[in-house]
Amino acid sequence: MTQEDLSIADPKMTAQNVNVFYGEKQAINDVTIDVGTDLVTAFIGPSGCGKSTFLRSLNRMNDTIASARVTGKITLEGEDIYDPSMDVVQLRARVGMVFQKPNPFPKSIYDNVGYGPRIHGLAPTKADLDVIVERALVRAGLWDEVKDRLNESGTALSGGQQQRLCIARAIAVDPEVILMDEPCSALDPIATAKIEELIHELRGKYAIVIVTHNMQQAARVSQRTAFFHLGTLVEYGKTTDIFTNPKQERTKDYITGRYG
């Protein structure tokens, strides 16, 4: 287990003293955290603790909510992502996102995956796009299941396949970070296992941040775990440490199932 030994000397993303407000209500309170380049980071915590909110502030998806306001500093490779000169569209191409419920476009499987590369101009020719789509689907472990029906609608797939299609869609634009917002909460156990397997395989290629309230899942897939509670970051460290030897009382209570 060499990866766990990596310290986060060279973080992909950093957040310093981040607060998120929805109107008057404060959803995130002074969170400071680094996300490692080759690691899977899990955000855990009881529902409503702000972990999804925080996740959405990492690629500025909160911009779509008119009343949301973010203070503090979040950087990607040292660049402040809330700086006015930061182009939000390019940011999201670099920090991809997979949502709670699979949300394929009602287009063909091919077009679902090809959409991102097309709008970002990553594929000058159709042949290039074919390559990108195939590579993304292979990486998402979906290629063998769909290679003969790339022109069928993405919505015709099963739930688990849809979610892997969404992951393929995110991979296709070659992001640096992939944010996953409870990607398995709408899936059955077998589909969940496949997604987790996929996360294992993607590790090292992308920085992955996954929000989950399934603690076993966090323990299985991540190397770093952050525990959120009531909008604050309670504890952050190596996953093994958090689960075997939490430093904070609240973390211990949550992990042992005292509340949540």
Partner 1 sequence: MQTRIARRYAAERRFRLIGLGAVLLSGAFLAFLLFVMVGNGARGFTYTNVAVPIDFASTPLTVDAARLNDPDADQLIANAGLADIVAFAAEEALGDDGDELISENAWKEVRSAIKDDPELMTGRHVFDLPASSEIDMAAKAGASGALGARIAELRRDGRLSTGIHWPFFRNADATDPAVAGIWGALKGSVLTIFIAFCIAFPTGVLAALYLEEYAPKNRWTDMIEVSINNLAAVPSIIFGLLALAVFINWFGICQASPLVGGLTLALMTMPVIVIASRNAIKAVPPSIRDAALGVGASPVQVVFHHVLPLALPGILTGTIIGMARALGETAPLLLVGMRAFIGDVPGGICSPSTVLPMQIFLWSDEVDRGFVEKTSAAIIVLLFVLLSMNALAIYLRNKFEKRW
Partner 2 sequence: MSFNPAALLLLIVGLGLIGWLAGRARSAMVAGRAGTKLHSRPQYHGWYVALWLFAPAAIFLAVWSSVAPAMITNDVLASEAAQRLPAFGFERSAILSDARGVAQGDQPSVRIEGAGPLVEPYRAATQKYGMIGIAAMLALALAGGLFAFTRIRPDFRARSRVERIVMGLLLLASLVAILTTFGIVLSLLFESIRFFQLVSPAELLFGTYWNPQSGAAVEGTFGGIPLFWGTVLIGAIIAMIVAIPIGMMTAVYLTQYAAPAVRRWVKPILEILAGVPTVVYGYFAALTVAPALRNFAVMIGIPNASTESALAAGIVMGVMIIPFVSSMADDSINAVPQAMRDGSLALGATPNETIRQVLIPAALPGVMGGILLAVSRAIGETMIVVMAAGLSANLTANPFASVTTVTAQIVKLLTGDQEFDSAKTLAAFALGLVLFVVTLLLNIVALRIVKKYREAYE
Q: Which residues bind partner 1 (CB under 8 A)?
A: 59, 61, 64, 66, 88-94, 96-99, 101, 103-106, 115-116, 119-120, 166, 169-170, 172-173
Please report how close the Cβ of residue 59 comes to partner 2 at its closest, in angstroms: 18
Computed from CA positions of residues 198, 201, 203, 204, in that sequence, does the dihedral angle turn out positive or negative?
A: negative
| Residue 64 contact partner, candidates partner 1, partner 2, none, CB within 5 to 8 A by sort of partner | partner 1
Please report how close the Cβ of residue 90 comes to partner 2 at its closest, in angstroms: 8
Q: Helix 126-139 crosses helix 109-119 at what angle (to 10 degrees)?
A: 120
89 lines the binding site for partner 2 (CB under 8 A) = yes
Candidates 120, 135, 203, 220; binder of partner 2 (CB under 8 A) is: 120
CB of 182 or CB of 235, closer to partner 1? 182
Span interacting with partner 2, options 7-15, 40-48, 114-122, 193-201, rule CB under 8 A = 114-122
CA distance linking residue 30 with residue 91, whole number of Å? 23
126 lines the binding site for partner 2 (CB under 8 A) = no
Candidates 17, 32, 67, 90; binder of partner 2 (CB under 8 A) is: 90
Decide if 139 contacts 164 (C-beta within 8 A). Answer: no
CB of 87 or CB of 144, closer to partner 1? 87
Span interacting with partner 2, options 23-31, 41-49, 117-125, 148-156, rule CB under 8 A = 117-125
Per-residue 3-state assignment (H helix, E strand, C coil) for the chain: CCHHHCCCCCEEEEEEEEEEEECCEEEEEEEEEEEECCCEEEEECCCCCCHHHHHHHHCCHHHHCCCEEEEEEEEECCEECCCCCCCHHHHHHHEEEECCCCCCCCCEHHHHHHHHHHHCCCCCCHHHHHHHHHHHHHHCCCHHHHCCCCCCEHHHCCHHHHHHHHHHHHHHCCCCEEEEECCCCCCCHHHHHHHHHHHHHHECCEEEEEECCCHHHHHHHCCEEEEEECCEEEEEEEHHHHHHCCCCHHHHHHHCCCCC
32 lines the binding site for partner 2 (CB under 8 A) = no
Candidates 121, 126, 127, 257; binder of partner 2 (CB under 8 A) is: 121
CB of 70 or CB of 219, closer to partner 1? 70
CB of 21 or CB of 115, closer to partner 2? 115
Number of residues that bind partner 2 (CB under 8 A): 6
CB of 120 or CB of 252, closer to partner 2? 120
CB of 140 or CB of 219, closer to partner 1? 140
Interface residues toward partner 2, by CB under 8 A: 87, 89-90, 119-121
